[in-house]
Each structure stands twice: as C-alpha cells, then as structure tokens.
Amino acid sequence: MRIGAHLRQDDDPIGIGESLGADIVQLFLTDPQKWDKPEPHPQTERILRSPIDVVVHSSYVINVASLNNRLRMPSRKAVADQAAAAAEIGALGLVVHGGHVRDGEDPAAGVTNWRKLFERQQDKGGFAVPILIENTAGGDFAMARHLDAIARLWDAVGEFGAGFCLDTCHAWAGGEELPGIVERIKGITGRIDLVHLNNSRDEFNSARDRHANLATGTIDPAMLTDIASAAGAPLILETPAEGIADDLAYLRDALTAG
Ligand SMILES: [Zn+2]
C-alpha cells in the first residue's frame, strides 16, 4: 500500500518525499488560492525518474458546480490546465473538490455542471489525467458532502470515468458515519482511487474542515487505519506538518500489524 503526504512546500517534492520515506506525495502546481496557470515544474525530470508516485491537488478557488458563469468558466479551464500540468509530471490524478451551489440554488443544476465539465472535455479527447472528485465537509448545498448527494453526482459523471478521493476528516465532520463507509462509497462509485487520511479537530457533523494528526483528533485512530486497509488505495496524509513523520510511522506500524 502506498503511503505519503501532502507537501506544503512544493519546489522539491521528491527530496521531501524521500526524507519522509513516502511512497507517494501530493502537491499543488499553482498557488491554490489563485487562478494562475501552472508553469512547467522545475523538477519534472526528477519527478518522472523517481519511484515516488505523485498526485496533484487542484486549486481551492475551483468550483465547477457553480451556477455563476464568472466562477464556473475559469474553473473548467483551470481543471483542464491543471490536469495537463499533472500529466507532465506523471501524476496519477488530479483531486478536485466536489464544490457547491449557493444557498437556495438548485443542487441538481450543480450536478449538471459537473456533467458538462466532462462532456465538453470529452470533445477534446478527455482530461490528461483522471479527475478524482473529493468529498467535502460543509454546506447544505454541496455536491459531495453526503452520500446521497454523491450518488446523484455519480449518476451524472460516473460514465466519464470520474475517480473518487475519500477524505476521512471531511466525511466525519460532514456527518457520515465512518464504520462501513468504504463499502458504502464503493457501492455508489464502484471505486476509491485515493484516501486523504486525516483526523479531525472537530466533532462529528460539525461541518468544519480542520485536519488533525492521526492520534490527536476526535476520530478513533483505529477507525482510520480500518478505512486505510479497507480502501485499497494510496493514502495521503494532509495532517499538520509537525506531526506528519509520527503519522506515517503510526500508519506503517498499524497496517503491518493488521
Ligand atoms: Zn482532503
């Protein structure tokens, strides 16, 4: 099982990955709060040569579900651009948050926008890497907070080969019971491509998105390792940086012992 972490500092992903003993690293290719188009990664050759796998997390500003043209249009372009840049470094996929419509808007219209993202790109030959849609923690008008919403989303995008990224903190804080969640999600999507294995600083169904190190949050760490084993997908820690080495060690021990 490949285990690794999201890197806050992105200029030397392989060097940092090696120092952590990671099998896989996740990185941004642009400032996640901006709309900048990704530049070629300065370490492309090294990343491609390294046995460490990479996955790219898309920018936080992206919301492909949005009913607002001025947000949706740049979001579509950013997903395509960032998928192309992810392919340049051999990434296994591009993680994109499920997004949301605004309070009072029709979530079905947001689902239609997700479908259009894939339909339009299909005319251009599809995305350069798989798009991994991530569940989110908050909001009553989210596309991928609750499993019933994920089921409606998958009815619209499943046929385009969309992948799924399960974030354990988001599921818990979003109000989804964790026991059996891997099976329930696979029952909907048929797949889990990546796990963001995070504990939560907040309580169940708090709708808050604050990640905690594995042994220090409100989720029983044994539950997290159960999910890690059951998912059968690469694991990325997005936990606070100062505890990541301990989280990796804990996870390796728990998964080998189990
Ligand atoms: Zn995540």
Here the CATH number for the domain that contains residue 243 is: 3.20.20.150
pLDDT confidence of residue 160: 97
pLDDT digits (tens, 9 = 90+) for 19-43: 999 999 999 999 999 999 999 999 9
| Backbone φ and ψ of 218, nearest 5° | -90, -5
Residue 238: inside a domain: yes
Number of domains present in the structure of the chain: 1
Closest CA to 76 of 6, 44, 124: 124
Residue 33: inside a domain: no
Residue 12: inside a domain: no
Closest CA to 67 of 36, 95, 99: 99
CA of 56 to the centre of ligand 1 (A): 11
pLDDT band, residue 230 (cuts 50/70/90): very high
175 φ/ψ sector (left φ>0, alpha ψ -120 to 50, else beta):
left
Residue 30: inside a domain: no
CA of 256 to the centre of ligand 1 (A): 24
Residue 43: inside a domain: no
CA of 188 to the centre of ligand 1 (A): 19
Residue 4: inside a domain: no
pLDDT digits (tens, 9 = 90+) for 148-184: 999 999 999 999 999 999 999 999 999 999 999 999 9
> pLDDT over 90 for what percent of the chain?
96
Other CB atoms within a 10 A radius of the CB of residue 193 amount to 21
CA of 70 to the centre of ligand 1 (A): 25
- Which residues line ion ligand 1, judged by CB < 5 Å? 167, 196, 238
pLDDT confidence of residue 118: 98
pLDDT band, residue 258 (cuts 50/70/90): low
Closest CA to 183 of 141, 218, 232: 232
104 φ/ψ sector (left φ>0, alpha ψ -120 to 50, else beta):
left
Quote the CA–CA distance of 158 and 129 in Å, as a whole number.
15
CA of 155 to the centre of ligand 1 (A): 23
Q: What residues does 164 pair with on adjacent strands?
A: 133
pLDDT confidence of residue 243: 95
Range of the domain at 183: 57-257
CA of 134 to the centre of ligand 1 (A): 7
pTM for this model (two decimals): 0.97
CA of 148 to the centre of ligand 1 (A): 20
Closest CA to 226 of 145, 147, 168: 168
Residue 228: inside a domain: yes
Residue 41: inside a domain: no
pLDDT band, residue 221 (cuts 50/70/90): very high
* Residue 9 scores a pLDDT above 80: no
Q: What is the mean pLDDT of residues 69-88?
A: 98
